[in-house]
Each structure stands twice: as C-alpha cells, then as structure tokens.
Structure 1
Amino acid sequence: MGQGTDLDAVLARLDAGRGAAIDRLLEFLRIPSISTDPAHSQDVRSAAEWLQKELTELGFDATIHDTTGHPMVVARSHTGTERPLLFYGHYDVQPVDPLDLWHRPPFDPAVETTDDGEVIRGRGAADDKGQLMTFVEAFRAWRDVHGQLPSDLILLFEGEEESGSPSLRPFLQDHADDLRASLAMICDTSMYSDGRPAITTQLRGLVGEEVVLRGADRDLHSGSFGGLAANPIMVLAQALGSLKDGQGRVTLPGFYDGVHDLDDALRDDWQALGFDAEAFLKRVGLRIPIGEDGRTPLEMVWNRPTCEINGIAGGYAGDGFKTVLPAEARAKVSFRLTGSQEPAAVRAAFRDHVRRFVPDDCEVEFHPHGASPASVMDVSDPAFNAAKAALSEEWGREAAFIGAGGSIPIAGDFKQILGMDSMLIGFGSDDDRIHSPNEKYDVSSFQKGARSWARILSALRPAQGTTSS
C-alpha cells in the first residue's frame, strides 16, 4: 500500500471513529484537573494517570514523572531516528469561577447543537484537552491502519501550564537528552480569525516590571506643601509619559537593538490576510488604530515591540475629594519583545529611565514580574511548508504563517534548552471562551484537527513499518 493510500485509510479510520473519539474526550473532560487549586491536586494526578493509561494502550511507552508540583506525562514510540518529533500539550485546566454563569456544570461536558454547528461544551474543551486529544486520535488511527505507531514520536504533556509551568524548565533541563527532537509540535493555539488554518511562526516575548516611588513619610496637605514638596504621582507620571515619543516609538536607549523588520515575503503574506484594524477595534468599543508611524496593523501586533502601562495607583481615589500629595505611587509596566531583544537589557533600561526622574530625597524600588525572549521560527526548514500544504489540503483553503502578539513561553524554552524550533498549530476559534464560563470546542475543529495531524505526520516522515489490511 502506497503512502497516499495509507493516508486515505488513516483519514477514513478517523471519520469512522468520530463518535468514540468524542466519548473519550468527554471522559477526559470530566476530570476537574484545576492546577491552580490545591484542593484539586489529586484530580490533576488523575488526569495524568488517565493519559498514561490511554497512551500505554495505544502502544506508547508512557511514564508519569513526578515534579515539585504536578506531574509530567512523557510517552515514546521507541524512537527509530536520532531526531524524532516532539508533541506538547497540557492537561490541566483553568478554574471555573464564576460558576453561576455556566449554562451547564463545567465538568459535566456534552455535545451541544448551536446555530453555528455542534460544539463540545466544558472546561478544558479547547484549552487544552480537546486540542491535545487531536494528537492522540491521529496516532490511534495511524496505529489502527499501520498496525503500529510511528517509531519517531515523543509526547510531553504537562499539568501546570495554567499555573505558570513552574516545574517545566527544570524538567526540560534535567531530561534534555531524552526530549531533544527535530521539531516540537505545540497544539495550544488557534486558527486565524477568519477560520483559516495557521502555523504560528513567531511569538513576542515579555518583560513585566512594577515600580514603587516613595516621597514624604506621610500624605501631605496640598495647600501647605504643594509646589514645594515632591509629588510621587507627578514624578512617576512624568517618567511613564516620556516612555514613548510622538511617533509611537519607545524612547528607552537601545530598546530596538535586536528588533528585525519583516522580510518582504512575510509582509506580503500578512497583508493578504486582509486584517481590518478598525473592525477589530470596534469589537471592544474603539475604532482608531494607534501605534508606530509607518507600520501596518498586523506588523504592530505581531512583529513590533511594545511598552504598555498596565496599572497605576496612588493617593486618594475614594468618594469626594482629598487634596493631598501622596506619599507613594506605583505602576505596573509591561514590554512585549520581538526579534532578539534581551529581556534583561530592556528591564535595566526601564529602571535607568525612571531613576533619572526621581529627586534625590525620594526613593524608588522595582519588582520584576517575569521575563522571556521572543521566539522566531526558521520557516526555511522544508517541514514548515510541508505542514502548511497539509493543512491547506485538509481545510480546503490556503493555510497561513502568522505571528502572535502574546507569549507562549514553552516555545522559547524548547528553543533555549532543547535547541529546536516549534510549529504552533491549533484549531481553536476566537469564540471558544477559553478561561471563561461556557468554554467550548467546535466538533469540526476536533475532527478536522485530528485529520490535520494525520496529514502533517504523513508529510513529515517517510512511510515506516508494516501496514495492516
């Protein structure tokens, strides 16, 4: 049987097993694996054990690895190559509050019919159990058709993604030799907003910083001290207000070191997506795009760094009016990074900038809140175009290479620790309500997602092993 015929048989097996696959997902979704809540620690372990059992029955060598937090599930199909493919997902889920906004109990999942088609409703349906199971169902169908699993797979499923993945980096460092692969496949993403399949090839990094500025040893009467004593809110506002110039560029010295312009081919591809910035903003009650002069909207949210004030506080903000010079002011500021910007350099530049505004008789302190570099994948690797073609074939429309304005630290960890690029391919939709009540995953995303992985697997590896008839 040829490779094309093999693939057709795998796709047919996935179609025939659709109902059983949904039943398995519903069973998985019933486990309340909320990683942020200590009361659910045993439930998180139960989800790991459920996965280990499923993967072992499929023929994987599946192991639960304990960590200082929640366990990792690692499965291998007895690697037959030096550089296999690594598949990553997470089996923990977000808390369900506020519970009264759910239309059905969040851990009593079901298939529902909506005006837009069938959906799987329940916590974790889209983030990330449903996406993770698109991997597993593709492997199941492959085994059913070929009589065995592909011999070059490593699966890494973690139980702490929704609580910051505190154990992940140490685990990757301790098991690096066993986890290195040619590429990582990450399923925790979505399709492009118009429903076309997409491969996310670049992610912005992140630096978070809290600044606290203190002046007098108490709040001061503005009539007695105003105009003479330092006002921490005014000082901090001046520092923050000068972080950008009139053209929307960040003013920190060296901030744009390592920032790269888009190549012409990728810029053309992004322009072809037809992104409507005004319509995008209209969904949140705005209509006028701002940002750097001379940059396209998608360029600004996917390929340009940012500086944003996320919160600012100080003084009196209650009812009525209190004329004081506050003793303290504070703000939280974040930077999204692109290219090869260094998080430590950006943090240092921000602190130096603020210090230049602080009078000698005032004090300032800084509190870091995370730092991760941007991730940019090497799309010249033929595997990226092969996967793009496979997605296009399955979905009947041209797949796209896209960026992401947010940060997915695992992609950077794979790059830094394991030395490999990642393909971020998921089948979520903008309306899946992840992290919110009534989370759902389209049945079509689940089914076509599994079919997509079967196509990608076929495209990225030669036919191996025997074929069952």
Structure 2
Amino acid sequence: MSESSSHAVRQAIESNLDSHIGRIQRAVQQPSVSVEQRGLREISELMVEYLDELGCDEATLVETDGAPGVWGYYDAGAEKTLINYGMLDTRPVNPDDWDHDPFGGEIKETDEFGRVIYGRGSVKVKGAFVAWLNALESMKEALGELPVNVMFLLEAEEINGSPYYYDMVDEYEGRLEEADACFCPLAGQGADGNVTASLGYKSALYFTLDVSGSDWGRGPQGGAVHAMSNVTVDSPAWRMVDLLSSLTSDNGTHIDIEDYYDQYEPPTEEEREEIRQFVETLDERTETPRDELWKHLPGLGRGAGEVENLTDDLHEDVVEAFIKHFYGPESFNIQGISTGYLGPDTSTKPFTLPGDASAKFDLRMPRGYDPAIVRQQLRDHLDDHGFEDVKMEVSGQHTWCKTDPDSDLVEAARTVISDHGRGLTLWPFSAGGVPWAVFGSTFDIPVLYGVGLGYGANSSGSNEFFAVDGNDAVGGLVDCELSHAEMVIEYAK
C-alpha cells in the first residue's frame, strides 16, 4: 500500500476524530441488552442511520421473529466485495459493579491509556464496529471512493445465540453469493500490543433440556410439594439426573449419543503439523515456559477459576493438548443445572420436592460435524431412552469453517499489522461456535474476524472501556480506524 494513501486516510481520520468519538458515544449510550430485549430495535435503527450517512445504496431494517437486524450495501463499482458481520447487542450489566454509567459513553482521562470511552459495548461490539464505519467514511473522503464494495448483515441477538440470523442469511442469500470474503475488523490488540485472531471456528449447538412433572405425567405438577412426599411421589429432579447420566460416561469425556462419532474425522498429519508449528510460534512470542504453554488454551484464562491439570494428563504434552482442543469431539459442557432450592436469597424454599428441573448445555464439535445432524441424534437419543417428554430448546446452532492462511484477506492483515511493528498470531481454530462462520461454510469464502489495532478491556465485566489515545504498546482510535482502512486497501490490491 502506498504511503500517500495511508497518510491521506490518517489525515481524514484525525480531522474528523471528534465526530468519530461522538458516533461511538452515541452507540454506547443506546442500551442494547438482548437477554432483556432492551433497546434492540433502537440500536438497529441507529445503524441504519449510520449506513445512510456512509452513503450506502441500501440500508434497511430486516424484520425477524425476534429483534430486527440490518442489511446494507455500498456499491463502489469495485472488483471485490466484502461481507461484514456485526453484532449490536451486549451482555447485561449490574450498575452497582460499575464506577461509571454503563450506558453513559463517558470520556475519562486515565494514566495508562490517556482518554478512554467507558460503557457496555464500547470495545468488542458497538465501539469497534462504529470505528470500522468511521474508517470507511475516512477512506471515501481521502481516496474519493472505497476500493471495495461492502455488504452489511448485522444482528442484535448474538448473546441470545443468533436465533434469527440464519433467516436473514437465507433472505439475502442471492446477494451474499457475490461476496469474495467476510471481513469483520475490531480493536484486536492485547495489552502487549500484539494482535490475535482465529482462522477457524467449531460447529456448536447451544440448548436447554427441561424436565417437568406436568409433561412427564408423574411427580409434582404445576409447582413443588414438601420434601417428605418423596417416598411416595416421583422426582423430576432425579429424572434429570438419570437423563444426564445417559448422555455421557467417564466424567463426560465420552459422548454416549448413538452415532455421534460417525461424523468424526481425526486430525490429518498436515493438521497436526500446523498445530506443531503454531505451538512453536506461541513459544517464541510468549514468555511462558514451554511446559506451561497449555495454559494459553482458549478459555482457561477467562473466569475466576484456575486449572492445574487437563483431562488425560494432556498438560504433559502441550502439542497434543492443542490438537485435542481443536480436533477433539468430546466438548459436551453443562453450563448450569437448576432445580428446587438454590440457597438463601434466591426466592426458593428448602425441603421441597421440585416439580421441574432444567439444564443448559453447549456442545462444540470440530470441523466435519454438521450440528443439524447432531441435533437430531440428540432428540432421537432422548426419545429412544424414554425421555420423550423432555423439552429441548435450541438457542444457537452454528456451522464450522476454516480460512486458508495464505488467502488474500489474511495476507492483507499480516502485511498491515507487520507494517505497524506488531505481531499477528492466528490460531488455527477458535474453540467457539459463531454465527459469522456461516459465510465460510455456506459461501466458501475466507472469514477473518477481530483483526485490527486498537485496545479495550472488560468487555464481559464492569467498567468496559475503549482506548481513545492509547500508549506505546497499544493503538488508540486513530490507529484502530487507520488499520481497518489499510487492510481493506491492501486486500483490494
């Protein structure tokens, strides 16, 4: 990419920085909490307004059976077309945990990062997405026109499992077939200044199983009774335990659903070599002792808990641990079980025989698995084992995808991040199942999510912020938007 193009875009960003900050603040100030069905239409309407301001030829709400999404199309008359996924909803907040208004979008001066924008959704969701729109506007101003066409398909219920996103994909399938790549840049720097992203995603099935005396026809129906009744009354809670026991064995490390392993494809030698090389790269870029590299496995650092060892003593072979993590099919997690008395301050009563029980799961599968097939296998398993009455509610069902590390899109990201003197670590797979993987699986195009300069923190906790100024290690808003623009320009070449 020419230095003149980069310099012109930077000037455009810097000259409009105050308005760019204001657009991010406005998005953060609009609550959009999907689990509470709060502000979802309003945030989608705001994004339609922003797409209109960008100059999109099409910008409209997409009505669904839930919250509306957004479709947009910018026709630059270019050779290449990008599809851009965006999530507009956030996790809920407890204001008592925040030192700032979670929907205030306040700008505060900090010792470490200079100015920051505080608020839920200020970094991973709305803030960095609006920064991307700002980058596109700056490219138009600096270059006269965008170097690519851009499609936008945005949703406001990702936290709910994207229950209607695929309906929108189906509605616009004929248009989406024109896309050459799916590009979703964000503020992707870690505290050390380096950028991390994933080249692939697992299939996933997120669901809840509900047992009730009313549907079973046994036990308490319509509520709980006293615990002394258990000697003569059946227990839906124990029925849930029996159901759970039928699904797996060996502490959950083997899945006992009939035919579940029929779709399993062991990792090839090429895939094993990719993991070996990745572990070597991780070894070079971190200060972690090699025998502790397994602690970088996705998910281990998210939460208050600590892990001292892995299943089957996999921590003793770090390469095998990573291979298992990405290609092992036994990821059948119980997120939570709820029934009866849950302790003090929970509005539940002790010494009851509960009339229902519920368990929430996430089942994540390696490449090669079709989650629709597993969903039917699970339903058949329940029916064949006498649990026909058990209700299964699926909140999310995502397909897998894998992007070629040598694709033009990935090479563009590598070039730009390297030109800024930062490292780019591309994980072979993510352990998550995500809605934007559908563009890779359905349309067979490269998918790259989350790459870009810029920094923020606490996206799942209190006092979430997005760095406006940054520091020597991490870029600020100008760097974030400039990197987004540069990657698009580089890709267009």
Give the TM-score normalised by the residue count of structure 1.
0.79
Q: 1:28 to 1:149 in 2, by over 3 A?
A: same
Given the alignment of the two structures, is residue 87 of structure 1 paired with residue 107 of structure 2, yes or no?
no
Q: Report the Cα distance in structure 2 between the residues aligned to 1:244 and 1:452, rounded to whole angstroms.
A: 48
Partners of 1:232 and 1:430 lie apart in 2 by 48
- Hey, what does 1:143 align to over in structure 2? 140
Is the 1:215–1:230 contact (alpha carbons within 8 Å) kept by the matching residues of 2? no
Q: Per the alignment, do residues 198 and 317 of structure 1 end up closer, same or farther by CA in structure 2, a change over 3 Å counting?
A: closer
For residue 308 of structure 1, the aligned residue among 309, 333, 343 is 333
Q: For 2:41 and 2:339, how far apart are their aligned partners in 1?
A: 42
- Report the equivalent of 2:107: 111
Task: Give the one of 330, 351, 361 matched to 1:333.
Answer: 361
Q: Deviations over 1:105-146 (max 9, x none)?
A: 233323323343132212321142221123223223322332
- Which residue of structure 2 aligns with residue 258 of structure 1? 264
Q: Is the 8 A contact 2:336 2:360 kept in 1?
A: yes
Find the partner of 1:131 among 123, 128, 133: 128
Match of 1:455 in 2: 486
Question: Conserved in 2, the CA contact under 8 Å of 1:202 and 1:374?
Answer: no
CA gap of 1:221–1:174, structure 2 versus 1, over 3 A, is: closer
Q: 1:286 aligns with which of 296, 306, 311?
A: 306
Q: Which residue of 1 aligns with 2:2?
A: 3
- Do residues 272 (structure 1) and 276 (structure 2) align? no
Counterpart CA distance in 1 for 2:160 and 2:302 is 32
CA RMSD after TM alignment:
3.9
Give the count of matched residue pairs. Answer: 449
Q: Check conservation: 1:277, 1:289, Cα contact below 8 A.
A: no
Query: Given that residues 452 and 483 in structure 2 are in contact (C-alpha distance below 8 angstroms), is that contact kept between their aligned partners in structure 1?
Result: no
Structure 1: runs of 5 or more not aligned:
463-469
What residue in structure 2 maps to residue 169 of structure 1? 166
Quick one: distance in 2 between partners of 1:365 and 1:268?
Answer: 45
Flag the 1:194–1:303 CA change in 2: closer, same or farther, 3 A.
farther
Aligned ranges 1:41-440 → 2 under 5 Å: 43-44=42-43, 46-56=45-55, 60-68=56-64, 69-81=67-79, 83-90=80-87, 92-94=88-90, 97-118=93-114, 119-162=116-159, 164-180=161-177, 181-187=179-185, 190-191=188-189, 195-207=193-205, 208-212=207-211, 214=216, 216-218=218-220, 225=231, 233-234=237-238, 236-237=240-241, 239-241=243-245, 243-245=248-250, 248-256=253-261, 257-261=263-267, 262-274=271-283, 276-278=293-295, 280=300, 284-291=304-311, 294=314, 296-305=320-329, 306-314=331-339, 322=351, 329-351=357-379, 353=381, 364-402=389-427, 403-412=429-438, 414-427=439-452, 432-440=457-465
* Mapped contact 1:29–1:125 kept (Cα < 8 A): yes
Call closer, same or farther: CA 1:7–1:193 in 2, change over 3 Å: closer
- Alignment partner, residue 466 of structure 1: none
The answer on whether the counterparts of 2:76 and 2:149 sit within 8 Å (CA) in structure 1 is: yes
Aligned equivalents of 2:309, 2:375: Cα separation in 1: 27
Residue identity opposite 1:117 in structure 2: F
Secondary structure, counterpart of 2:39 in structure 1: helix
Whichever residue aligns with residue 148 of structure 1, its letter is: E
Which range moved further: 64-73 or 115-124?
64-73
SS in 2 for 1:80: coil
Amino acid in structure 2 at the alignment position of 1:339: R
Distance 2:251 2:38 in 1: 50
- Structure 2: gaps of 5 or more residues: 284-291, 469-474
Hey, what's the Cα distance between the residues in 2 that align with 1:122 and 1:318? 32
Give, in angstroms, the shift of residue 461 of structure 1.
1.4
Write out per-residue CA displacement over residues 427-459 of structure 1, whole angstroms, 9 at most, x where no aligned residue. Answer: 599972225442211223533322222221122
Q: Residues 307 and 335 of structure 1 are in contact (CA less than 8 Å); yes or no, is this contact kept in structure 2?
A: yes
Q: How high is the sequence identity, in percent, across the aligned residues? A: 19
| Shift of residue 152, structure 1, vs aligned partner | 2.8
* Cα offset, 1:339, TM superposition: 0.6
Structure 1 window deviating more from structure 2 (63-72 vs 402-411): it is 63-72
TM-score (norm 2): 0.75
Does the CA contact (< 8 Å) of 2:335 and 2:359 recur in 1?
yes
Q: Which moved more, 1:230-239 or 1:363-372?
A: 230-239
Answer whether contact 1:260 1:339 (CA < 8 A) is retained: no
Deviation at 1:260, TM superposition (A): 4.5
Q: Cα–Cα, structure 1 residues 189 and 168, in superposed 2: closer, same or farther, change >3 Å?
A: farther
- Say if 1:244 and 1:251, in contact at 8 Å, map to a contact too: yes
Equivalent pair of 2:162/2:435 in contact (CA under 8 Å): no
Q: Kindly indicate whether the alpha-carbon contact (under 8 Å) linking 2:78 and 2:149 is maintained by their aligned counterparts in 1.
A: yes
